[in-house]
Amino acid sequence: MRGKNNQVFDKKIPKFYLRVYDVVKRIPKGRVSTYKLVARALHSKAYRAVGNALNKNPFKFVPCHRVVKSDGSIGGFARGTNEKERLLKEEGVEIINNKIKNFEKHLFHFDRP
């Protein structure tokens, strides 16, 4: 995987994790996707493994905060759910009672333009 300045990263990171990070980088600001949709984009059913990869993400340029649960609730975040909520709100995503308001409007599908 290469970063913003084209640097190559440590090969000790599992290949599956790097693939997850590449997919998640495609989610635009102001949009969210789900652990399930990320797994599907990888032709996998390993939704929990996607969550584990995101929890261990060492790269600031991978927007892990944009991945939420399939029911629209925000789910976990390595830096805490308050920080995840703050980052999403900063991008224009409204959250009420720990859920994305107008979830379908904000939902990003990898197989659609």
Among this protein's residues, is 67 annotated catalytic? no
Q: Can you tell me the distance from the alpha carbon of 75 to that of 51, in angstroms, rounded to the nearest whole number? A: 9
Q: Which of 32, 38, 64, 107 is catalytic?
A: 64
Would you put residue 6 in left (φ > 0), alpha (ψ -120 to 50) or beta? Answer: left
Structure tokens at 52: 């584990």
Q: Which residues pair with 33 in a beta bridge?
A: 67
How far is Cα 41 from Cα 61, in angstroms, rounded to an integer?
Answer: 19
Positions marked catalytic: 64
